[in-house]
Amino acid sequence: MKEQMESVILQCSEVTVDFDGFKAVQGMNFKLEKGELRFLIGPNGAGKTTMLDVICGKVKPTFGRVIFSGSVDITKKKEHQIAEMGIGRKFQTPSIFASLTVFENLEIAMKQHRGVFAAMRAKLHSEDRERIDAQLAMIGLEDKGEWRAGGLSHGEKQWLEIGMMLLQEPEILLLDEPVAGMTDNETEKTGELLQEIRLTQSIVVVEHDMEFVRNFASKVTVMHEGKLLKEGSMEEVQRDDRVAEVYLGKRRDVDASRSTA
């Protein structure tokens, strides 16, 4: 039992979000294990992004608890405190410094994490440089460290931002549609990157691209109208009649070709 508790990194219980009388999320339960790569899917307006907003503290729930790392209820914490505790959020639009190099972007992310004194230190230690080089290799940009970040492709910018997040050493990464707008090749590489990250961290991905989900998900959570509709493997989710029903008219999302709708 104790072991089971320790393997849970995030537990959301009965989370409800009310926007002026409209319940975007209603009594949502969500449990994430350490090292999980979880996909959160559902039709438009299901409440997926709002759930990510709750977990990173951008939106405060009107009811419910979000327990991080077994003990802390983060609904009581401020957004920056939650980030410092180890929950990193990546939004759809990359927030990189376009005029700086790829290496400099990573350097800033690392120094931010270490605080203001480190940020003022002019010189990078050799171990810092090694850390950044290792990060560059992990995100597949080892040959582009000296490139201006603004000159990267869309997919590469997304990877750079993921690399910047990783240098802040989060325990959970929250990603909102990371492969939207990517080529097939970039999408595949992103899936492989997420598989590598989950060896050391936990990840929640909100995603509409069903082929991507099928290829890389082990467990999928389906939301509909602010509630949990179904949770299980992609096969289980696809076989579920209620899931098929909520996707009716959008069947291609669940069944067939790539969609980034």
Ligand X SMILES: Nc1ncnc2c1ncn2[C@@H]1O[C@H](COP(=O)(O)OP(=O)(O)OP(=O)(O)O)[C@@H](O)[C@H]1O
* Residues in touch with ligand X (CB under 6 A): 19, 22, 24, 42, 44-50
| Whole-angstrom Cα Rg for the chain | 19
Q: Tell me the closest approach of the beta carbon of residue 12 to ligand X, in angstroms.
A: 14
Contact call for residues 168 and 115 (beta carbons, < 8 A): no
For residue 108, give both structure tokens: 């800033």
For residue 177, give both structure tokens: 């549609």
Q: Tell me the closest approach of the beta carbon of residue 20 to ligand X, in angstroms.
A: 7
Q: Tell me the closest approach of the beta carbon of residue 90 to ligand X, in angstroms.
A: 15
Cβ nearer to ligand X, comparing 61 with 163: 61
Cβ nearer to ligand X, comparing 108 with 180: 180
Cβ nearer to ligand X, comparing 10 with 132: 10
Secondary element (H or E) of residue 174 = strand 172-176
Contact call for residues 146 and 101 (beta carbons, < 8 A): yes
Cβ nearer to ligand X, comparing 47 with 88: 47
Q: Tell me the closest approach of the beta carbon of residue 22 to ligand X, in angstroms.
A: 6
- HSE-up (13 A, CA, CB side) for residue 86: 15
User: Would you call 32 helix, strand, or coil by DSSP?
Assistant: strand
User: Would you call 149 helix, strand, or coil by DSSP?
Assistant: helix
Q: Name the residue type at position 255.
A: D
Cβ nearer to ligand X, comparing 43 with 163: 43
| Residue spans of beta strands (DSSP E) within 34-105 | 37-41, 63-68, 72-73, 87-90
Q: Tell me the closest approach of the beta carbon of residue 133 to ligand X, in angstroms.
A: 36
Q: Tell me the closest approach of the beta carbon of residue 49 to ligand X, in angstroms.
A: 3
Q: Tell me the closest approach of the beta carbon of residue 51 to ligand X, in angstroms.
A: 7
From residue 129, alpha-carbon distances to 56, 109, 122, 126 in Å are 29, 13, 13, 5
Cβ nearer to ligand X, comparing 50 with 201: 50
Cβ nearer to ligand X, comparing 44 with 99: 44
Cα-flanking dihedrals φ and ψ of residue 86, to 5°? 120, 25
As a whole number of angstroms, the distance between CA 217 and CA 194 comes to 10
Other residues' Cβ atoms within 10 Å of the Cβ of residue 216: 21
